[in-house]
Amino acid sequence: MTDQSATRPARPRRGRASTAAEPAVAGRGPRDGSREVAPETLVAYYRQMALIRAFELRASEMYQRARIGGYCHLNLGEEATVVGLMAPLEPSDYLFTTYREHGYALARGSSPGRVMAELFGKQDGISGGWGGSMHLFDKAARLYGGYGIVGGQIPLATGAALAIAQRNEPGPDCPAVMCLMGDGTTNIGAFHESLNIAAVWRLPVVYVVVNNGLGMGTSVEASSGEPDLYKRGASYRIPGERVDGDDVVAVRAAAEAALTRARREHQPMLVEAVSQRLRGHSVVDPARYRSAEEVEAAKKADPVPAMRARLVASGALDAEAADRIDAEAEAAVDEAVAFAEKSPDPDIGKLFSNVYTTPVPNAPHQLPGDPLFAPGELEENVAAR
């Protein structure tokens, strides 16, 4: 028997790779490096990355201080991927994400205060305190949900693209859907069923695998028959492309190309951004399954200081201006925490108000320990018959 694992890379190689024989979209410009990107755009990206970094570090701290309950998964280490993916999304596009989504909400323009308030379980939370860290939703930003069930968002995103295809001809103004998932998600049935449906129905959806190398603590190589995840659309003739998730410009270019194809041709595409987690799966995970070397390598590749250094080196920012951006991010997060602290708890009197949209007779309304029938209710009801 051949040891197939020997032929597999220990970690996916970074940089560009594609399953498409030709570029997915013809006529786009060069995509490597920052030469064609205006310095102020790069600075704006750094500003978003710094905000996400500061927000996530504070979320971790607030979790340790028990201001945040439940699970809490952070985007630490993925900031370049997050910002690069959100950059080419239009306001008319829809985003479906995973439970590791605070950064995406911020980059999509959701208020940091309302996101923090949601983590705190407060009334002004972006999901009204009903969702928590894993279930952020912002209708105005067309952030159509963080989803806690691995892979659950993929059929939904595919259906959103169906609704778009039903109402819009292909073209540059057609909205598209971006559907995010982690590397471990590419093994779930919903991934394969959805990619197949998107292919046969020609749907404007971009599936993005954020590959941080680990599904909780299990490596991509240990869990995936095809560890080159960008190739996993091949069964459905969906082209794939792998990019370096630490390079915000490369991520943006790949996402933009895929979105353009979705809009103009109503065709799905698969993008794999190779990234990393700086910490454990969630705040409470010490990640003992990772070697010291791995953790060290991740720290070295940390995209936030790398981006800062790159901007300072290129002259786009001086150290003082970079410090100012970092300080502004901290201040925005201070403000977000203050907002979340001040927001009231959700009203228990409205516990049953979100169960249904269309009111319905006999909807349950009992709190634990309540009788099925309120005193006098039955007599009234029987008399009325």
**From the centroid of its chain, how far is CA 361?**
38
Query: Least separation, in Å, of the C-beta of 111 and another protein?
Result: 14
d(CA 87, CA 41): 10
CA dist list (Å): 258 to 27, 317, 336, 376: 13, 31, 34, 62
d(CA 102, CA 244): 21
**Number of continuous H segments (helices) and E segments (strands) in the chain:** 12, 9
Residue 206, SS3 per DSSP: strand
Indicate whether 54 belongs to the interface with another protein (CB under 8 A).
no
* List 31, 37, 47, 193, residue binding another protein (CB under 8 A): 193
Site string for another protein, 86-125 (x = CB under 8 A): --------x-x----------------------------x
Indicate whether 180 belongs to the interface with another protein (CB under 8 A).
no
| Nearest CB to another protein, comparing residues 133 and 275 | 133
d(CA 94, CA 112): 19
Indicate whether 189 belongs to the interface with another protein (CB under 8 A).
yes
Indicate whether 349 belongs to the interface with another protein (CB under 8 A).
no
Residues 284-343 that bind another protein (CB under 8 A): none
| Nearest CB to another protein, comparing residues 201 and 289 | 201
Determine the size of the site formed for another protein (CB under 8 A).
56
| Nearest CB to another protein, comparing residues 45 and 144 | 144
Tell me how crowded residue 92 is: count the other CB atoms within 10 A of its CB: 13
Query: Does an H or E element contain 233, and which?
Result: none
Indicate whether 71 belongs to the interface with another protein (CB under 8 A).
no
* List 100, 135, 263, 290, residue binding another protein (CB under 8 A): 135
Q: Which one of the spans 37-45, 56-64, 132-140, 312-320 is the region binding another protein (CB under 8 A)?
A: 132-140
Tell me how crowded residue 385 is: count the other CB atoms within 10 A of its CB: 4
Transcribe 80-147 into DSSP letters. Answer: HHHHHHHTT--TTSEEEE-S--HHHHHHTT--HHHHHHHHTT-TTSTTTTSS-TT---BTTTTEEEE-
Indicate whether 197 belongs to the interface with another protein (CB under 8 A).
yes
Q: Which one of the spans 296-304, 321-329, 336-344, 371-379 is the region binding another protein (CB under 8 A)?
A: 371-379
d(CA 363, CA 378): 16
d(CA 271, CA 336): 32
* List 222, 284, 355, 374, residue binding another protein (CB under 8 A): 355
Indicate whether 254 belongs to the interface with another protein (CB under 8 A).
no
Beta bridge partners of 218: 215
Tell me how crowded residue 346 is: count the other CB atoms within 10 A of its CB: 17
Query: Least separation, in Å, of the C-beta of 368 and another protein?
Result: 14
Indicate whether 129 belongs to the interface with another protein (CB under 8 A).
yes
Q: Which residues contact another protein (rule: CB under 8 A)?
A: 94, 96, 125-131, 135, 137-139, 144-145, 147, 149, 152, 154-164, 166, 189-190, 193-194, 196-197, 200-201, 353-358, 360-364, 371-373, 378, 381-382, 385
